[in-house]
Amino acid sequence: MLTDAKEWFFLLYEGKQTDEILHLGALQFIHWVNALSFNERFVFSILTMLILTAGCKLILRLVRQLLNVGR
């Protein structure tokens, strides 16, 4: 999967077939998640939720700082 990711990154960087590359990447990710065991999926989903929550908090903090700059 890592070599595919490198190849896709370079193709995206060069601007070649962006939609097809992103579609293939999404399909490969889905296959990877489906190959996980139940326990691994559970841990993966919890980690994903934590990362998304942290990302949302950081974005909100950044927006607040940007809004306070003008004051």
Could you report the per-residue pLDDT of 14-39, keeping only the tens digit for each?
666 667 777 777 888 888 888 889 89
Q: Which distant-in-sequence residues (6+ apart) come within 8 Å of 41 by Cβ?
A: 33
Contact 4, 28 (CB under 8 A): yes
- Structural domain span for residue 48: 37-71
Domain count, the chain: 2
Residue 49 confidence (pLDDT) above 70: yes
- 26 and 54 fall within a common domain: no
- 9 and 26 fall within a common domain: yes
Overall pTM > 0.75: no
- 31 and 6 fall within a common domain: yes
